[in-house]
Each structure stands twice: as C-alpha cells, then as structure tokens.
Amino acid sequence: MNRAAHLVLCFLALAACGTGSGAGAPAAAGPAPDPAGRWALAIHGGAGTIPRDLPAERAAAYREGLARALALGAEALARGESSLEVVEKVVRLLEEDPLFNAGRGAVFTHVGTHELDAAIMDGRDLSAGAVAAVRTVRSPIGLARLVMARTPHVLLVGEGAEAFADEMGVERVENSWFDTPERREAWERAKAREGEDRDTVGAVARDVQGHLAAATSTGGMTDKRWGRVGDVPILGAGTYADDRTAALSATGKGEEFIRHGVTRAISARMALAGEGLEAAARALIHDVLAPGDGGVIGVDGGGRIALMFNSEGMYRGAADSGGRFEVGIWDEMAAVPRP
C-alpha cells in the first residue's frame, strides 16, 4: 500500500475508534436471533441477457412465476417455518415452473439431454448438501436436501447420486420430462454459437428465529458438454449460508463464480473486513466480476436483503415481515399483489 493510502486508512481507523464502530477491525459475529418475529426472503430466477424487448406477456408470466414462489415462501416464513424448509420449498416450486432453467424447463446439453445441479446450505451449522449432473431426479433440490440430512457427504454426482435417490425413494422421471419447446429452440440456436442460456433459480431466507439458509438449482448452460458442472453445487461459489454473515445464491457465468468463490468471498468480506451485505455483494459483482457475468441475492442476520447483478437483468423478488413484496426483471423493483 502506498503512503497516502496508508494515512487515509489510519485516519479511518482512528475515526472508527473515536466513534466506537470499529470499522477497521475484524467484524463481530452476526446479530443475535431476533425475537420480534422478523423474517426476510429473496429469490431469483436467473441473470443474463434478458432482452429489453421481451414480449410483455412473457415478462408478465415471469413476474407471476416469481410472485407465486415469493408468496409461498413469505407465507411459510410468517407461519414460523425454518429458513431451511422455506428455501427448499421455494426452489422446488421454481423447479416445477417450466419458465425457469431448473427442473422442468432445464436447458439442453450438447447431446440433447438435461443434467441438473443443486445445492442447499443451513447457516446454523454450515451443514450442506449438493448434487451434480443428475438426469432423472424430478427435484434436484430435494435430493440435495437428502444428501445433507441422510449422508455424511456434501456432494454426490451422476449415476451415484441417482442410486442414492432410489435408496431414498425419491421420484425419478424420464430425462425427456424436463423438455420444453422453448429450451429446445434455444438449444437449436445455441448450437450455432456459444451457449448463452445460463439461468438458475435460487432462494435465501432469514426465519423468525434469525437463522439463514440458501438453496440454488439449475440446468446449467445450454449446449454444455463433457459432464460440465457449474457453480451451483460448489459450496462457496454459487451457494453459501452462514448465520454469522449471510445466506447467498448466485446466477451467471458459473466458471467465473467458481474462480472467485463469490458467495464465500462475500461472507468473508462481512466477517473479516466488517463490510455490510450490500457493500460486500457490490464489491464482488461490480469490482471483482466482469460486466455481464451475472448476479447474486443475499439476506443477512438482520433481515437485510441484497439483489445485485451486472447483467442486463435478473429475474428476482424480495419480501419481508415489514410488508415488502416486490419483483423485478431489469433495473426497477415493483410492488406486486400477492397471488
């Protein structure tokens, strides 16, 4: 660090000492559980090049899909359900919605099939489960939850993960069950150029007990090949939750999110550099990643929500116990009626 920067930092450290806020010192652990019944929920349905001239009825369909998932989670959190239950439930609903690239509606691989990845993490104790490259499991997020609950492992892949699904009695479907005409068209287009379709779904929640959880599920990138796995099932890349910092779910160019360990890096900035969720998410999305790489949603122990992206848009929603209930696609977030 040069001398001038050093002096500025020393001044800031002194100022922090004067006010007692300790900005220059390592951050304390997150806030204590909040007995006042506050909760918060954020969801996403992928970030990327969402054309501004998206037909109005299609934009409306996305907003409705987001609002439906948001309402399901908001009601469950208000009833006192745990953040872990709620993020799984919300992501399951988004997996079933053919609009989103997760579960039904997943993108096509290079050979015309679907390979799905998902992860879930519990901020209470950092327990986690993930699956990658599964082909016949109707709800990948449900299987990830079972990996967490019923095995000593974190990540199961491919046929092994499907054998585990059978042992657990989890519903399996034909690979073609995930087909949708829209994704097939996108794949046909993608074969002529590099795959661009990299959407994902995710949910992060803070429950009334103050606990955090995150869940993410995806079909990966259109026209992917060679068993490619992206950031979603990589804890610390696409998915992370720690009660002491935040619950986070990312979407975008998975390889960049892996290299920079985006969700873990946001958590580390909060824990080690005393940054708030918003500032830490901004640093990763706008300073570390390149424009167009994607976005991240997060909720911290105080129920603060961050929705940050550097792409053309991000399908997203946010709700909390203070009455917020909003969805957005491009710059704006707008309050919507609860479905």
Member of 50, 78, 173, 258 binding a second copy (CB under 8 A):
258
Order of strands across the sheet that contains 294-300: 239-241, 246-252, 294-300, 305-309
Member of 20, 35, 169, 337 binding a second copy (CB under 8 A):
20
Within 114-133, which residues bind a second copy (CB under 8 A)?
A: 126-128, 132-133
Nearest residue (CB) to a second copy, 226 versus 331: 226
Which residues partner with 328 through β-bridges?
A: 316
Q: How does 297-331 read in b/e, with b if 16+ C-beta sit within 10 Å?
A: bbbbbebebbbbbbbbbbbbbbbbbeebbbbbbee
Member of 10, 60, 149, 290 binding a second copy (CB under 8 A):
10
Q: How far is the CB of 201 from a second copy (least distance, A)?
A: 20
- What residue type is 297 in one-letter code? I
State whether residue 312 is helix, strand or coil.
Answer: coil
Does 6 sit near a second copy (CB under 8 A)? yes
Tokens 């640093």, located at residue: 283
Member of 22, 37, 80, 339 binding a second copy (CB under 8 A):
22
Within 160-179, which residues bind a second copy (CB under 8 A)?
A: 160-161, 163-164
Nearest residue (CB) to a second copy, 158 versus 276: 158
Question: Cβ-count burial of 268 within 10 angstroms (0-12 exposed, 13-18 middle, 19+ buried)?
Answer: middle
**Quick one: DSSP state of residue 178?**
G
Which residues partner with 218 through β-bridges?
A: 117
What are the catalytic residues?
Answer: 200
**Residue pair 76/203 in contact by the 8 Å Cβ criterion:** no
Please tell me the count of residues contacting a second copy according to CB under 8 A: 58
Cα distance between residue 64 and residue 68, in whole Å = 6
**Quick one: DSSP state of residue 175?**
G
Nearest residue (CB) to a second copy, 268 versus 333: 268
Compose the 262-291 pattern: x for residues touching a second copy by CB under 8 A, - for all others. --xx--xx--xx------------------
Closest CA to 26 of 201, 322, 245: 245
Nearest residue (CB) to a second copy, 240 versus 325: 240
Candidates 11-19, 56-64, 184-192, 201-209: pick the segment binding a second copy (CB under 8 A).
11-19
Q: How far is the CB of 160 from a second copy (least distance, A)?
A: 2
Judged by the rule CB under 8 A, the positions of this chain that interact with a second copy are 1, 3, 6, 9-10, 13-14, 16-17, 20, 22, 24-26, 28, 126-128, 132-133, 151-161, 163-164, 194, 224-230, 234-237, 240, 254-255, 258-261, 264-265, 268-269, 272-273
